[in-house]
Amino acid sequence: MKYLDEYRDPVLASQLSRQIHKMATKPWVIMEVCGGQTHSIVKFGIDTLLPDEIELVHGPGCPVCVTPLETIDRALAIAGRRDIIFCSFGDMLRVPGSTTDLLSVKALGGDIRIVYSPLDAIKVAQDNPKKEVVFFAVGFESTAPANAMAVYQAKKLGLKNFSLLVSHVLVPPAMDAILSSKSNRVQGFLAAGHVCAVMGYTEYFTIAEKYKVPIVVTGFEPLDILQGIAMCVQQLEEGRVEVENQYVRSVTKEGNLHAQDLISKVFKVIPRKWRGIGEIPNSGFSLNNEYQDFDADLKFKLGHIKTLESLQCLSGLILQGIKKPYECSAFGVKCSPESPLGATMVSTEGACSAYYRYKR
């Protein structure tokens, strides 16, 4: 496919790898924020093309992984009800809640449907006026335009039987939280290309400046990631701290203004809990006052469901780049993609799952 295949050229990849080998004279720790990048890195073996000096740590940019246990439990509380059709992206179905997961509820007869787009859930609501249709709106800034449009259209259509269980998170506050932690090891960032396609990258200038870390907006194909690493290493070696854009073919500095406009009409910024990390200030979206009728948390009075995270799973430390998956005693023993203990093992974009599948 055009714009994919040519960015997977092995000859050019090894050329970039040689360049990085030449540039790196000191040890550097670089974090890729996005789970999609983590998956590419491990799948294509990009980590094995790097010199020993460069350590890649895998960030919290997998919405499936960071959706709090509490939110999964809230989804589970309503998903099995006879009057409800629960719609979700497929990868949320196997995320373990406290006692079960959505796939098991579906197996027991719950009307749980996998949709490709939130607009498909709108269609389900129109076709089933006697049922309540709830869409599980998880995601980062890249998914926010789609979810914002679904609510906007639902209101315009006057749909009364449609609501969203929202667990939207934002990347820059999470980067800030990681960098301000005492145990932080990250010296440079590859920022998530598709999040920046929506939001632009002006927010990163303050972070780069405050923590003196280079940030390179990076794409998802092997050549993108290798070039992003090369640009980041070059900055680190030269002692520069800048925000650079590797993914110029899809990302502009100001981002997608049409999408930002609708997002700001529908959502407001709130503090959000992240699975394994805890609450981060200003790190999420919820529906603003005008769209409260579409908030499943309010509609089904789910606010009382509070769940504490398990201490067994190291996913929080893994999401912050402090531990590697194989440093967990449960990894591959008690915990595997078939029977995951925590969310980083569930999603294919989770670091543990990627390490397990590709035998790291």
Q: State the residues that interact with another protein by CB under 8 A.
A: 1-4, 6-7, 12, 15-16, 18-19, 34-36, 61-64, 89, 91, 116-120, 138-140, 142-143, 145-146, 149, 152-153, 192, 194-195, 197-198, 220, 223-224, 227, 246, 248-252, 256, 258-259, 262, 347, 349
**Judged by CB, which is closer to another protein: 13, or 56?**
13
**Judged by CB, which is closer to another protein: 100, or 256?**
256
Strands, E assignment, 3-115:
28-34, 54-61, 84-88, 112-114
Are the C-beta atoms of residues 183 and 322 closer than 8 Å to each other? yes
Question: Strands 162-169 and 132-139, how do they pair?
Answer: parallel
Q: Whole-number minimum distance, CB 42 to another protein, in Å?
A: 15
Are the C-beta atoms of residues 65 and 75 closer than 8 Å to each other? no
Q: Whole-number minimum distance, CB 139 to another protein, in Å?
A: 7
Residue 256, burial from CB neighbour count under 10 angstroms (0-12, 13-18, 19+): middle
Q: Whole-number minimum distance, CB 166 to another protein, in Å?
A: 15
Q: Whole-number minimum distance, CB 119 to another protein, in Å?
A: 6
Phi, psi of 273 (to 5 degrees): -80, 140
Q: Whole-number minimum distance, CB 7 to another protein, in Å?
A: 7
**Judged by CB, which is closer to another protein: 75, or 300?**
75
Q: Whole-number minimum distance, CB 227 to another protein, in Å?
A: 6
**Judged by CB, which is closer to another protein: 89, or 162?**
89
359 Rama class: left (phi>0) / alpha (psi -120 to 50) / beta: left
**Judged by CB, which is closer to another protein: 159, or 211?**
159
**27: how many CB neighbours lie within 10 A of its CB?**
11
CA proximity to 91, closest of 359, 353, 356 = 353
Angle between helices 203-211 and 171-180 (to 10 degrees): 0
**Judged by CB, which is closer to another protein: 78, or 138?**
138
